[in-house]
Amino acid sequence: MQIVDVELIQLAKVHAHPHRNAKQARSRRVVSLVRLTTDEGVDGLGEAWCDPALAEGVVLGKLKPLVLGQDPFNVEGIWRSVFDGSAMYDPKGSAVAGLSGVDMACWDIMGKATSQPVCKLLGGLNRTEIPAYASDLHWEEDPRVMARAAAGFVERGFRTVKTHVGVDPVDDVRRVRALREAIGPDVGLMVDINTAFDRPTAIRFGRRIAEYDITWYEEPLSPMDTSGFAVVREATGLVIATGENEYTRWGFRELFDKGGVDVAMPDAARVGGLTEMKKICAIAEAYGVVVSPHNYSSGACSAATLHLMAAVPGTGPLEWDTVDSSIVPELFVEPPVVKDGTVSVPQLPGLGVRLTDEVRARYAV
């Protein structure tokens, strides 16, 4: 079996009400999908989390020539040849994200060709349902709006919710308090700052919200300040989660060496695909760090993440888009069952995703 074509498909979803976090308000989400076709008629779908403006040059310009003619079952060889041939010159950027899409599509092909769900190829179907948290509760001017949304997630069965704050490091304490009051004392509450704070601000804010029993304090600092997480962790006593802006096993090893991460959040569409995710999980286990993958893009990445977590015991919880921000159920052959705070693992061959002409036309860029 050989790869005979590499295609980049970009889709976009527009929202009437912008989703806001500490750094930006966004009303349009662009998804970059990578589709590989083989000479035996089996195709695979993956996702590359990279700058949409750069995706074509990376996937079609840089990576396609390196991938054509390769056996999709040779994921380790493809990964190494693409990384050495292109991504090494951009080890924390779009080239690795493009490689992620290629790698994910290879696993999809392998599953389809062997009539097995990808989780069984990755290590086994160790669980059929993955515990999930409600993501995402975006920043609103009126805390009551956020509180009602959080209560609604709990009513839907989620036992943990995550919020984006940090727009106002003083007034946002009021929002955290409103959320805790809305969901009650027995539901987990995660606070995501989206890299917006410097160290002093992160420490002050963290100390002020600590009384509200925070499940984890996510990305309180720039991903460049890898040494700062240990400082914030020590000063606040909060559990630190980070890693969605990190790349490859080498990046995560450096992050873990700094000693400030309790929960690692690699993204399968960014770190180098499922092949690299497995290695990151193994390194994290050796460091005593829990892996809860970042999963906030399309159904392709969501499916891949579900398979990874089903195959690797101890990972979790799963980040699940509860505000319909991206193109998720439309890409599943059989949409997963979301019930009582869990999401079912796809059982069809491959990743269990497909891109129909209808979906492509509906969300075409």
pLDDT digits (tens, 9 = 90+) for 76-108: 999 999 999 988 888 999 999 999 999 999 999
Query: Alpha-carbon distance 258 to 267, whole Å?
Result: 20
The tokens describing 312, both together, are 């690797």
Query: Alpha-carbon distance 216 to 208, whole Å?
Result: 14
CATH class of 3-115: alpha beta
Amino acid present at 349: P
Q: How confident is the model at residue 311 (pLDDT cuts 50, 70, 90)?
A: very high
Q: Domain limits of the chain?
A: 3-115, 120-354
Angle at 254 between CA 248 and CA 256, to 5 degrees: 100
Tell me if 163 sits within 8 A of 194, measured CB to CB: no
Give the strand pairing for 160-164 and 188-192: parallel
Q: Which are the contacts of 196, defined by CB distance < 8 A and separation ≥ 6? A: 21, 22, 23, 166
Looking at the chain, the whole-number percentage of residues with pLDDT higher than 90 is 94
The tokens describing 357, both together, are 């002409």
Angle at 194 between CA 342 and CA 45, to 5 degrees: 55
Mean pLDDT of 166-191: 97
Q: How confident is the model at residue 136 (pLDDT cuts 50, 70, 90)?
A: confident
**More confident position, 17 or 269:** 269
Q: How confident is the model at residue 285 (pLDDT cuts 50, 70, 90)?
A: very high
Q: What are phi and psi of 304, to 5 degrees?
A: -60, -40
Query: Alpha-carbon distance 284 to 241, whole Å?
Result: 13
CATH 3.20.20.120 fits 120-354, yes or no: yes
Angle between helices 75-85 and 94-114 (to 10 degrees): 160
> Across the chain, what does the average pLDDT equal?
97
